[in-house]
Copies of this chain bind each other. A is one copy, B any other.
Amino acid sequence: MAKSVTSGTAEARPVLTRARIVAAAVRLIERDGAKALSMRAVAAELGVAVMSLYNHVPGKDALLRGVAEHVVAGMDFDGAAEASWADRARALVRAFRTVAHDYPRCMTIVLTHRADGSIALRPAERALAIAAEAGFDSVTAVRVTRVLMAYALGTQLREVGMTKALDRLTDFTALDPAEFPHVLASADELARNDSEADFEFGLDLLLAAVEALPRRPGFDQASAR
């Protein structure tokens, strides 16, 4: 009672489904920008009528949540299990950064419309697992997880905002030298935008600090390499 694909003949019409709708939305966002996403555009992309979408998606907001979920579901973290917990944590945060790089124009939506489905919990589960294996007690593990999430989100957010702002700000010299001495002194440094290095810098910083945290009593830190 849910398995009809026009019976035998396969793909005269690929059948409309939630997954196909979300995929079309993602494609469309990456092509024309998040602002250009409309139900009508998605329908056109799929060659169907607008209201047909509503048989599979409650509304636009839900569709956007679907987009967010689709993107985070694309996170690929199966880093070597034998690596140190820090390396695995690194891999996890990098995985988020990677999808952010793969779906740049979807990021605004991912950051805005937090997904709630179980798919979105996968990264949290992974982070908690890593923190637990590292020997932190449960409250510390949750906190570490949250800090890592905040850093992952914040880095991407800052980066997106940066590139968007740099498109507008061309008059770096029009600043009041009395009010912004340090900004002007570091103008070159600020303009040069090695986001990758900055990202790794902050990540190392954070993980080093986490590493220094006390473990749960009786935990053999040396053997958990």
Contacts and interface: CB of A to CB of B under 8 A. Distances in A.
Interface of A: 108, 111-112, 114-116, 118, 121-122, 124-125, 128-129, 132, 138-139, 141-143, 146-147, 149-155, 157-158, 160-162, 164-165, 168-169, 175-176, 179-183, 185-186, 189-190, 198, 201-202, 205-206, 208-210, 212-213
A155 B146 CA distance: 8
Max chain B CB contacts within 10 Å: which of A114, A149, A150, A183?
A150
Nearest to A157: B153
Contacts of A125: 179-183
B155 A114 contact: no
Contacts of A108: 112
A111 B113 CA distance: 12
Given A118-B180, A122-B179, A142-B186, 5 more contacts: A111-B111, A114-B160, A142-B190, A154-B154, A205-B213
B205 A128 contact: no
B175 A111 contact: no
Main secondary structure of the interface of A (DSSP, over half): helix
Contacts of A142: 186, 189-190
B205 A169 contact: no
Contacts of A201: 143, 147
A198 B128 contact: no
Contact of A121 (B162, B183, B210): B183
Given A189-B139, A201-B143, A128 B182 contact: yes
